[in-house]
Structures are given as C-alpha cells and as structure tokens.
Chain A
Amino acid sequence: MATVEVVAVSMARTLRGLGVPTPPDASVAYAAALAEVGMGRRSGVYWAGRATLVRHPEDIAAYDRAFAAVFEGFQPADGEEPTPAPESVTILVDTEDDAPAGPDAADLVDGPVLTLRWSDREVLRAKDFARCTGAELDEAHRLMGDLRLVGARRASRRLRPTRRQRGPLDLGATTREALRTGGEPLRTVHRRAGERPRRVVLLCDVSGSMEAYARALVRFAHVAVVGRAQVEVFTLGTRCTRITRELGSRDPDAALDAVAGVVDDWSGGTRLGAGLRTFNDTWGVRGLARGAVVVILSDGWDRGDPAVLGEQVRRLQRVAHRLVWVNPLKASPGFAPIARGMAAALPHVDELVEGHSLASLEALAEVIAR
C-alpha cells in the first residue's frame, strides 16, 4: 500500500495536470489530513482531499477525475493533457523617440492616457479592428497596454483622517493630542469618509459574429485586470465563463492562451440571454454586480429568445450602478439597434457606446470612470 506522501503527491501532480493550481503546501496539508483520517476508507481519502486540495467549487469536477485517475487507474482523456507553457514572442518595434516625458506622468491618475509614439498612430487609433492587418492588430494591442481603466468612484465606509474641523471625531487622535495640553482636549481631530473606485464587471461576447473584435476586447479586459484588482471578466457565448483568474498573468500572450484554454465556446454560437442568466444567478445578482459598473461587449446578435435577454439585462441593470453596452457595430454608418437581442436589451441599458477601435476603447475607459 502506498504511503500518504506518495498518494498526496500523486494527487497534487494529477490535479496540476488537469489545470487546477495546487501549491506544495496543499499536498502537505493533504498528507497530514490522510494521516488523520487514515487510508482505510475510500470516502475518507476522498473527503480529506476535497477539504485540502480543492478551493473553488468549479474545481470539484477536475478533482473527481483526478481521484478516479489516481485510485482507479483511469487515464485522463487525451484532450486534458497538461498544455505546455506558451512561448512568448517579443516584437521589437522601431519607434520615434519623441515621446514627451516627465510632467505628463502626473496626469496618469485621472483619465486614460495613451502614450503614442507611432507616426501613423492617428490612423491606427481610429481604424476598425475588423479592418486591421495582423501587424496593425499587434500594434493596437501593444498600445492598449497604456490604457488605464478605473471604475467610477463611490463613498467608502472606511473613515480617513482629515484636517477639517467637522465630521465624526477621531477620539484616539484627540486623546493623544490632549496629552500635550495636560489632558485638556483643546483641539479635536476628525475623520471623514474616503472614496474608492467601484468594481468594474466586463462581460465579453466571444461568439462567431464578434470574432473580429473579441480578441481585441479580451486584450482590453486583460489591461484592466492587470492594472487594478477590482475588475471581473466573463465571456459569453453559448455559456458563461469567468476568466478573471486566467487574465491575471502580466504577459498578454500567456494570459490570452490561458483564456483560450478555458473558454470552450470561442467563436461558437450565441445564447446571450442564457449566458447572462447564468452570470446573474451564480455571480451578478448575488453581489458581484451590485453597485458595480457593468460593461457588456457584444453586437447583440442572439439566437435565443429576446424576451429572456431583455429580462436578464433588466435584472442586471437593477443591481448595477451603471450598465454600459459596447457595440462595435454602432460605428458603422446607418447603424440601428435592430438585432433582436439588442432591441430587447436597449430599454434597460444606461449607455450605448461603440468599441470598434482603439480610440473608441479610450472613450469607453472614460465612460467607465465617469
């Protein structure tokens, strides 16, 4: 019979192979847990692992597969072999070195700033992603890295010290101050409510009709995730997939590859209403979208029942601070929101903006921060 250490390490390795992050201390904990419950009963071994190796309900299925593989000798299917780490490619770009330096850095905090060093940058900024060549797209993605995305601000419940002489008293500081004046609180110290950015939730349609834009929009989402912690990203296609964790890598290529690994419905069909409903049920209405700036990036083409989409958008709008719909087709001349899904959703959308080019994504960042 195998020792607890061997079992723990095999389970951890198998789990890692299935794409579940399993740090060494998790396998140490599993070994300790096995020593406590003993290896006599299958269910004991199973639940000890569930308590120590699994941290997200989504990983339970993978855990069950790993458990079966290790203890019943099943091999995971071919498609689930560990994927090799993506090779990152660095593109060296010849730039004109006339970028303004110094004072502009201070402006970074409020509003999106795009450092432009490219001679035909204005052309590229306004160019529709669908018409860009591969090289232009790469350059656009690189420029996107300079975007700053911050949600609109709201009052925080956390109080901060202030120099003002009104507002709630900071008794601690007042007492310390009083010590100097022999115990007489001559000068009172106050606190005031601070501010913090709202959470931003991006829902990105990755269905076939959005193919020309989806990659750029996911790249935009990546910039947002890397730039700040309070961003959550989901993809919508035939299902709803959370990709915030996958976008966590600073290397854009690795992040996009990780996303491609978990999103099964890339360039597939669209069931926007059903996808949104999953999002609302499991994440949005429970709290994630509450008081957040919610951004839906989609062309509004939906194969499902438009009534479902309308209802789900309304539900989302009721809990969100603001609901922004980004439609890359809005920029096309003669655009009217006639796609059935778009038409059903429109009454509940606070703002409809375009998102077909770099310039329009900058504008979007401004809308989100407003």
Chain B
Amino acid sequence: MELASVDTVRAGLAGEQYLADEGLATSVFLALRLQRPLLLEGDAGVGKTEVAKSLARWTGGELIRLQCYEGLDANQAVYEWDHARQLLHLRAAEATGLAADRGTEDLEGELYTERFLVRRALLQAIAPPNGSGPPVLLIDEIDRADDEFEAFLLEVLSDYAITIPELGTFHAEVPPIVVITSNRTRDVHDALKRRCLYHWVEHPDFDREVAIVRLRAPGVPERLARQVAAAVEGLRAEGLYKPPGVAETIDWAEALATLGRATLDEASVSATLGTVLKYREDHERVRSKGVAALVQAAVLRGM
C-alpha cells in the first residue's frame, strides 16, 4: 500500500465509507508512518471505533478487537494455557503408562508448548499466527479497564513484545496498527498517553454529517438527510445531557426513512425522538421548547 500523504489516508478511508476530517486523517497518517499507537478520545457516538474498523478494511489487515472492562487481566487479554486440554493430556499419559516412564520434568515440559497455548487479542496482534500483513489492534474503551491493565498495556506498547515465562519472548516483526479509544469517563494515565498520538474526535460539521448519512444510509433521500443533520445540529446546541452523536443521526435518518417519510414533520419527529435522545430530561427539554420550532428551523437550514 502506497502511503504518500495525508490525502491518501483520507481517500482510503473514504473508500471504506469513513469520511475523516483533516485532523483525524493527519493523526492516522502519522500513526501509520511513525508506527505509534493512536489514542482517540471523544463523546460517545462520534465514530471512534469505526476508525479502526475502516482502517482494517482499507489496509487489509486483520481487525483484532479488545473490549476493555474492569478486571480485564492477562488471561483474557494476552494468552492463557488451555488447562482442560493439559489435564486431558496428563490423564492420557497416565492411562497409557507413559507418565510412569517419563519424569515429571519431561511431562511438564510437554504441557507448556504452543500446542496448549490459547492466544488472546494482544498476543494475536504481536505474533500473528500466519505471516499476513500487520493487523489492526483495536483497544476499545480503555477508560473502562483498571489501572493495573493500563500499566501492563504500557509495557506491551512500548516495545511490542510479550514474554511468556514458559516459552520465551515474542517480538512483533511488523508492529500492529494500534487504535485505542476512550470515552473519557476517567483520565487515561499520562504515561500511556505519552506513547500515543492523540486526537480528540469532534462532532462533524453540517456538510460532513450530511455526507456521512448519505454514505451510511443510502436509502435516505437527500432532502431528509439534510433536514435530519440540521435538526441534530440544533439539538446539540440545546445543552442536552447527552448531545446526539453521528451514530444517532444515522439511526434517526434510517428510522424516518423506514417510516416512509421524505421530509421532517412534527408528528414523525415526536414519534421517533427516542432514537436520538436517550434521557427523559432531554425529551422534556425539547418538548417544552417545542418540536414544531425544531422542525421549522431544520427545514430552513436543510434547504
């Protein structure tokens, strides 16, 4: 893959149905060229995870996703021994009388070989089983993992190597493309941030949002797409508890199109408001300001 400039990245991602702005495209370009992890922060639903998915489709690398949660440990993130098979192997050795001939030492050596190794996401990314291109490692919602895991990740990302005491050290021949996302429910540790390129993902502007809806929901007529994007833009300015993200815009446009609407109107907005606003307080606020006004402004803006 020829990686000449930032525009190559933009075009490449656009080919995979992801419209990146210049800031994001520059960060991705630098992450690829400098072989550094890319840390994406931003509100929920602005398309952070999609970046990694589109990147994997574009580069042709395998997408390896590690969803973080509290209590995530090395067994679930790096590797695990297949203990059930190990026990079975031991029992078989005993049953056939092999265990008595061979010493415990030998038997133990047999147990800790790659045959019984279960590779989890991080090990898969560092040492891909087949010699394919560099995989895309998506570490999703790192802010949900605890400090212990973050510290461990720091070690892996600094030299792209994993040591398994029984087998030795695995080095990545080609470092994986690493995308880390965070909803910023807590601050990721500065030491980890230092290893990464950082990009704060914003809500898209009006024209880009219309383009995204058109691309992601081809069944939505252009006029409706423009009006929905305008209405969402209006909602974001309302100071809601949860301003809608791009994902909600797409959902809303699709919901309206499914109901057979070609333009926004008060009744269908009222009926489908649940696809964009997920808090009761937000619904109340919008209703008290008047759905009709919202629709009217959106129709004007969407001309």
Closest A residue, CB atoms, query B241 = A281
What is the size category of the interface that chain B forms with chain A? Answer: 35 or more
| A353 at the B interface (CB under 8 A) | no
Is A37 located at the chain interface by the 8 A CB criterion? yes
CA distance A174 to B87 in the complex (A): 9
Residues of chain A contacted by B281 (CB below 8 angstroms)? 311
Contacts A48-B26, A51-B199, A179-B104 given; does A33 touch B83 at CB 8 Å? no
Interface residues of B in 29-64 (CB under 8 A from A): 29-30, 33-34, 36, 41
B243 to chain A, nearest CB (A): 9
A182 touches B99 (CB 8 A): yes
Tell me, rounded to whole Å, the shortest Cβ–Cβ distance linking A229 to chain B. Answer: 7
Residue-wise interface mask of B (95-108) relative to A, using a CB-CB cutoff of 8 A (1 in contact, 0 not) = 00001100010011
Instruction: Give 14 A-B contacts (CB < 8 Å), ordered by A residue.
Output: A23-B194, A37-B6, A37-B30, A43-B22, A47-B27, A50-B27, A51-B23, A52-B30, A156-B70, A158-B148, A174-B83, A175-B81, A182-B99, A290-B185
Q: Which of A55, A157, A159 contacts B198 (CB 8 A)?
A: A55
Contact of A51 among B30, B86, B185 (CB under 8 A): B30
Q: Is B193 an interface residue (CB 8 A)?
A: yes
Q: Which residues of A lie under 8 Å from residue B198 when comparing CB positions? A: 50-52, 54-55
Q: B16 in the interface, Cβ–Cβ < 8 Å?
A: no
Are B23 and A287 in touch, CB under 8 angstroms? no
Query: Within the assembled complex, what's the spacing in Å between the Cα atoms of A180 and B107?
Result: 10
Interface residue? A178 (CB, 8 A):
yes
Let me know if B152 is at the binding interface, CB within 8 A: no
The CA of A124 and the CA of B36, in the complex, are separated in Å by 55
Residues of A within 8 A of B170 (CB): none
214-263 of chain A: CB within 8 A of chain B: 229, 232, 244
Give 5 A-B pairs besides A29-B197, A47-B23 with Cβ atoms closer than 8 angstroms.
A26-B194, A180-B104, A185-B87, A286-B183, A288-B185
B contact residues around A29 at 8 Å (CB) = 34, 36, 197
Q: How far is the CA of A36 from the CA of B38 in the complex (A)?
A: 16
- Whether A172 is near chain B, meaning CB under 8 Å from some CB there, is yes
- B274 within 8 A of partner (CB): no
Of B70, B99, B144, B194, the residue contacting A183 (CB under 8 A) is B99
Which residues 100-153 in B have Cβ within 8 Å of A in the complex?
100, 104, 107-108, 111, 143-144, 146-148
A52 smallest CB distance to B (angstroms)? 6
- A47 contacts B183, CB within 8 Å? no
Partner-B contacts on A (CB < 8 A): 21, 23, 25-26, 29, 32-33, 36-37, 43-44, 47-48, 50-52, 54-57, 60, 156-159, 171-172, 174-175, 178-180, 182-185, 229, 232, 244, 280-281, 285-288, 290, 311
Interface residues of B in 147-185 (CB under 8 A from A): 147-148, 183-185
Which residues from A are CB-within-8-Å of B111? 175, 179
Which of B69, B71, B83, B107 gathers most chain A CB within 10 Å? B83
A39→B135 CA distance, assembly (Å):
31
Bound-state CA distance A26–B34 (Å) is: 13
B262 interfacial by beta-carbon distance below 8 Å: no
CB proximity to A under 8 Å, residues B193-211: 193-194, 197-200
* B267 contacts A by Cβ under 8 Å: no
Question: Which residue of B has the minimal Cβ distance to A285?
Answer: B241
- The number of A-B residue pairs with CB atoms under 8 Å apart is 118
Closest approach, in angstroms, between the C-beta of B8 and any C-beta of chain A? 12
**Contact status of A48 and B30, CB under 8 A, knowing A157-B70, A175-B83, A175-B111:** yes
B200 — nearest CB in chain A belongs to which residue? A57
- For the complex, give the distance between the alpha carbons of A55 and B27 in Å: 13
Q: Does B94 contact A (CB under 8 A)?
A: yes
Q: A33-B30, A57-B41, A179-B108 are in contact. Are A287 and B83 (CB under 8 A)?
A: no
In Å, the complex CA distance between A185 and B86 comes to 11
CB-defined contacts of B271 to chain A, threshold 8 Å: none
Contact B33 A175 (CB under 8 A): no
Q: Is the CB of A47 within 8 A of B143?
A: no
Q: How far is the CB of B198 from chain A (nearest CB, A)?
A: 5
Q: How far is the CA of A168 from the CA of B242 in the complex (A)?
A: 39
| CB of A287 to closest CB in B, whole Å | 2
CA distance A288 to B198 in the complex (A): 21
- The residues of B that contact A52 with a CB separation of less than 8 Å are 30, 197-198
Rounded to whole Å, the gap between the CB of B146 and the closest CB of chain A is: 8
| A243 CB, min distance to chain B CBs, angstroms | 13
User: Complex: how many Å from CA A180 to CA B197?
Assistant: 49
Q: Known contacts A50-B199, A51-B26, A285-B241: does B194 contact A25 (CB below 8 Å)?
A: yes
The yes or no answer to B91 lying at the interface (CB within 8 A) is yes
Which residues of A lie under 8 Å from residue B99 when comparing CB positions? 182-183
Please give me the 8 A-B residue pairs with the lowest Cβ-Cβ distance, nearest first.
Answer: A287-B185, A157-B71, A183-B90, A171-B83, A47-B26, A51-B27, A183-B94, A51-B197
Interchain CB contact under 8 A, A183 and B93: yes
Give the nearest-CB partner of B192 in chain A: A55
A47 touches B81 (CB 8 A): no
A239 shortest CB reach to chain B, Å: 15
CB of B222 within 8 Å of the partner chain: no
Separation of A23 and B195 alpha carbons in the complex (Å): 12
